[in-house]
Chain A
Amino acid sequence: MELFGIFIAAAVINNFVLIQFLGICPFVGVSGKLSSAVSMGMAVTFVMTMASMVTFLIQHYILIPAGIGFLQTVAFILVIASLVQFVEMVIKKVSTGLYRALGIFLPLITTNCAIMGLCLFAVMKDYSFIQTLIFAIGAGAGFTLALVLMAGIREELELADVPETLQGAGITMIVAGILALGFMGFAGMKF
């Protein structure tokens, strides 16, 4: 039940994109098409899960025993960036299909603040390994949810008669804002 609570909290109540405003760049950039949005969401979820596991190990087996917790941010950046690059290479070599679906999005999210934020949050909240894992999957699901919602709306917007001054970025910002307002409705939920 506690794990479920962590999942829901990360996915909806504290949605990374719409409540914490992390990862806004891909949220606006890759939400033009539903198919791209789904792929991006999957890639982010994948990287979040990988990164949270590795940074958990780094934090608890290198940084804390050595008493250098203050190097957390630098170490995490290094680890996440290298890890994502490495995973990209492996995917490219092993599976062209998977690379087409996920790989092209990976370089975009190596140093995405949503990933970084997730790893730092997990440490801050003092989660165990399993909790960190669930937290990461929840955050990824929340990110995918936000992206897919946005992409769905933007695909409909293509057909809508948007006032000329609001076309493009303007209406996108308004939609994002309204979505964020909508997600604030979850704020009171407690598990």
Chain B
Amino acid sequence: MTALAASILAMGGLGAFFAAALAIADKKLRVEEDPRITLVNDALPGANCGACGYAGCAAFAEGVVQGKAPVNGCPVGGQDCAEDLARIMGVDAGESVRHVARLMCRGAVGVARDKADYVGPSQCAVQDLVSGGSKACEYGCLGGGDCVEVCNFGALEMGEDGLPHVYDDLCTACAACVTACPRDLFELHPVDREFFVFCKSHDDPKTSRAACDAACTGCGICARKSEGAIVVQDGLAVIDYDKLDPSLIPLEKCKTNAIGWLHPEKVPQPVEAGASPAPDGKASS
């Protein structure tokens, strides 16, 4: 009987003591944090398995909210979970426009010239390390398909022209390809953005013309009438989408077609002034 009484007393006492201590601590030591962290955490499976590379679901949730972790980074939750997280994050980030990945290179086979035959592992990362691959351009697509490899959604496919092609419907803008490309050729853009400089070459005009028929030589013709929307930086035209009015750009004067429409066949030629087919108001993410 004494053992029973002692047990109840001791365990009850311990329990009550710690309960009180925790209750008080919760009130006194509360720290305000981003409410989205709780939302994201609730949407996660809660397995705390660490398969995402973070210490647990809570740490991953914090990573997502801070933008360090991808919304589809939870392998357990899969697609549903990724969509939930994207909704939580997307709505709060004020981004209603869907983004997709775009390849900023048109150096297809036959367009970009080769400097040598490359024999070796085909991964872009290796090619880039070893010799820069076969292409003469140091900035262009290596065609090894590292981006296709990392895409979890089947949104990328290697085309016959040796360049990866994006399926807009499948792309979730997870940026895996952006990270994978050793030459940083992928950028995330709103899905309806059609106007790009399809080149990343910082070579001087002579070198870039010699290396590729689709290179931006940095001549600056496109920049002249763009009213500041296009600036030539280090031999490459860069677009500021906030200021861009594509109808002002004399596209026909770009000898290499490095700047232009993503789907030239879809663009209704703007005969009347101001009939811009690319309603761009948002900066690229």
Contact = CB atoms under 8 A, between A and B. Distances in A.
Interface string B36-55: 00000000000011110111
A71 to B, nearest CB: 6
Contacts of B96: none
B10 A82 contact: no
B48 A108 contact: yes
Contacts of A66: 6-7, 9-10
Interface of B: 2-3, 6-7, 9-11, 14-15, 18-19, 21-22, 25-26, 29, 31, 48-51, 53-56, 58-59, 62
A74 B29 CA distance: 27
Contacts of B21: 82, 86
A68 to B, nearest CB: 5
Nearest to A39: B55
A66 B11 CA distance: 11
A158 B55 CA distance: 19
Nearest to B75: A168
Given A63-B10, A78-B14, A89-B29, A107 B3 contact: no
B56 A108 contact: yes
Interface stretch (A29-37, A119-127, A175-183): A29-37
Contact of B11 (A75, A85, A90): A75
Contacts of B19: 82
Interface string A145-165: 000000000000000000000
Contact of A104 (B9, B10, B14, B58): B58
Interface in A75-124: 75, 78-79, 82-83, 85-86, 89-90, 92-93, 104-105, 107-108
Contact of B55 (A40, A63, A67): A40
A121 B203 CA distance: 68
5 contacts: A66-B7, A78-B18, A79-B14, A79-B18, A105-B56
Contacts of A85: 22
Contacts of B11: 71, 74-75, 78
Given A32-B50, A71-B10, A82-B22, A90 B62 contact: no
A19 interface: no
Contact of A71 (B7, B48, B53): B7
Contacts, number: 76
A83 B254 CA distance: 69
A89 B19 CA distance: 14
Contacts of A53: none
A100 B150 CA distance: 30
Contacts of A32: 50, 53
A75 B10 contact: yes
Given A68-B3, A89-B29, A29 B14 contact: no
A67 B4 CA distance: 10
B51 A89 contact: no
A78 B15 contact: yes
Interface in A9-45: 26, 28-30, 32-33, 36, 39-40
Contacts of A28: 50
A124 to B, nearest CB: 20
A16 B62 CA distance: 30
A115 to B, nearest CB: 16
A36 B50 CA distance: 10
B55 A105 contact: yes
Given A29-B50, A33-B53, A92-B31, A67 B26 contact: no
A29 B6 CA distance: 41
A68 B7 contact: yes
B15 A36 contact: no
A90 B29 CA distance: 7
A74 B11 CA distance: 9
Contact of A82 (B18, B51, B54, B56): B18
